[in-house]
A and B are shown apart, each in its own frame.
Chain A
Amino acid sequence: EVQLVESGGGLVKPGGSLRLSCAASGFTFSQAAMSWVRQAPGKGLEWVGRIKKKSDDGTAVYAAPVQGRFTISRDDSENTLYLQMNSLKTEDTAVYYCTTYRGYMDVWGKGTTVTVSS
């Protein structure tokens, strides 16, 4: 069964940092492009960024609101995707979803909640 399990969410103060993880199973992780999508409380979906598979150059692209603050990386040996979030703002409060990515997002994890508050 294809599965994505996010972890690492929590409460952090503005200006703080957090690293989210996404453990993948049931498919060949190294052959998959991946992305992060977030959803603020009571709001719609917002694409955060995506990372290509290493054989396609492995580069990451980000949405403007997180560019320069967030970094997506992957460890194919551990089948894990990461989202390093620095200089967090209150508006980053959201559920963060890890997804497989083919342009559209076909498999989604259940999400992990990040709350940025003083």
Chain B
Amino acid sequence: DFVMTQSPDSLAVSLGERATINCKSSQSVLSSSNNKNFLAWYQQKPGQPPKLLISWASTRESGVPDRFSGSGSGTDFTLTISSLQAEDVAVYYCQEYYATPFTFGQGTKLEIK
């Protein structure tokens, strides 16, 4: 099974500043058949279900602000929020969907400094 490790576990960033969350997979999630990374990012605000932000490591979902971006390939990935807004306070999860059982990272709690 894959192990997804996020860093840091928690993060405090000032409004308007950049926030960076890392996700490392124990095995590559890059498919040789389609050259795509089977990696998604989710945002979960308090009391709400998770929301898909990014699929295929870097494809933003419709309606997701462009301050959110995903990057990386193989085993190392990053979610970047370019200019933190108050509404971005949440827990963020990465997830591999390369193979079952699909595994989530432990989550990164993002707060305002």
- Residues of chain A touching chain B, judged by Cβ–Cβ distance below 8 Å, are 37, 44-47, 50, 61-64, 97, 102-111
Contacts and interface: CB of A to CB of B under 8 A. Distances in A.
B49 to A, nearest CB: 4
Nearest to A61: B100
A102 B100 CA distance: 13
A40 B91 CA distance: 15
A64 B104 contact: no
Contact of A106 (B52, B93, B102, B107): B52
Nearest to B1: A64
Contacts of B101: 47, 61-64
Interface string B72-113: 000000000000000000010101010011111111000000
Interface in B20-62: 38, 40, 42, 44, 48-52, 55, 61
B3 to A, nearest CB: 13
Contacts of A104: 40, 52, 55, 95, 97
